[in-house]
């Protein structure tokens, strides 16, 4: 079978069990050979810069996925200057030898509802498959109402075909924990435990390096908003 690469992009500020649940769901549903976590340097979808540095967030992801052989982390967006557009990341993967039909961009249904606002939206749709994972509070059906023109591209994950064909959108109904990075940062600032939200190694690293401790880094540094 042609190799399939899952891509999970995000700020990961910090990484948490919701991210890991989405990766695991896509890996199982689509028979992915690997899931690549790609932390953003300058995420266009956020109105503020990340609170932790790129290297700190990279380290947290590495700790979170350490015991899952199918997961890996990449610094390709952290090393690239300028806004971290998904379209540029996909071009880099194409140049490395990955065909669009071999790539599966993993995304929650809540984020997928805004896909039409992404930078080079039309290109991105043809540059990768999408693995849309159900999220608490946002059904896949509700997400698709925002972009009904994409309905002809959608398929249940059980119908994923040989990746030699065209790209599509694969829908994954799987439980994922209702967690946000903002919620975790707020708990840390308030002195509350985060053991139910992140892997133990991540919690230890955050505590050891005093990450997210002060209120002035709760929401990051303000910047101009943009699209992904």
Q: Cα–Cα distance between 131 and 133 in angstroms, integer?
A: 6
Determine the pLDDT at residue 94: 97
Q: Which pLDDT value is given to residue 49?
A: 79
In a domain, 228, yes or no: no
State how far the alpha carbon of 85 is from the alpha carbons of 120, 159, 160, in Å: 9, 29, 26
The total domain count for the chain is: 1
pLDDT of amino acid 157: 82
Asked if residue 227 is part of any domain, the answer here is no
Q: Rounded to two decimals, what is the model's pTM?
A: 0.90
Answer positive or negative: Cα dihedral of 157, 20, 220, 178: positive
Structure tokens at 98: 């990955």
Pairing of strands 154-156, 103-108: unpaired
Alpha-carbon distance of 159 to 116, in angstroms, equals: 24
Note whether residue 222 is domain-resident: no
Cα 61 to Cα 3: distance, rounded to the nearest angstrom: 23
CATH number of the domain where residue 161 is located: 3.40.50.620
Average pLDDT (49-72) is 95
- Beta-carbon contacts of 180 under 8 Å, excluding residues fewer than 6 positions away, are 16, 18
Please tell me which residue, 26 or 135, carries the higher pLDDT value.
26
On whether the CB atoms of residues 227 and 46 are closer than 8 A, the answer is: no
Tell me, yes or no, whether 35 lies in a domain: yes
In a domain, 43, yes or no: yes
Judge whether 130 lies within some domain. Answer: yes
pLDDT (tens digit per residue) in 139-175: 778 888 888 889 889 988 877 765 557 899 999 999 9
Q: pLDDT value at position 225?
A: 36
Domain range for 76: 5-217
């Amino acid at each position: 079978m042609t190799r399939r690469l899952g891509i999970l992009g995000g700020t990961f500020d910090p990484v948490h069990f919701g991210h890991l649940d989405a990766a695991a769901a896509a890996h199982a549903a689509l028979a992915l050979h690997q899931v690549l976590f790609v932390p953003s340097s300058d995420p266009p979808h956020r109105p503020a810069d990340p609170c932790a540095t790129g290297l700190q967030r990279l380290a947290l992801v590495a700790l979170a996925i350490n015991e899952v052989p199918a997961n890996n982390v990449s610094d390709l967006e952290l090393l690239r200057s300028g806004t971290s557009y998904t379209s540029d990341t996909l071009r880099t993967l194409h140049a490395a030898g990955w065909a669009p039909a071999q790539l599966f961009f993993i995304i929650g249904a809540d984020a997928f509802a805004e896909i039409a606002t992404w930078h080079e939206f039309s290109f991105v749709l043809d540059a990768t498959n999408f693995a849309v994972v159900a999220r608490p509070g946002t059904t896949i059906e509700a997400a698709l109402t925002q972009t009904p023109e994409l309905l002809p591209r959608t398929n249940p994950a059980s119908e994923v075909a040989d990746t030699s064909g065209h790209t599509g959108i694969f829908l994954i109904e799987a439980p994922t924990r209702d967690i946000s990075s903002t919620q975790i940062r707020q708990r840390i600032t308030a002195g509350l435990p985060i053991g139910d939200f992140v892997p133990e190694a991540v919690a230890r690293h955050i505590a050891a390096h005093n990450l997210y401790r002060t209120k002035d880094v709760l929401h990051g540094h303000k910047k101009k908003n943009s699209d992904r």
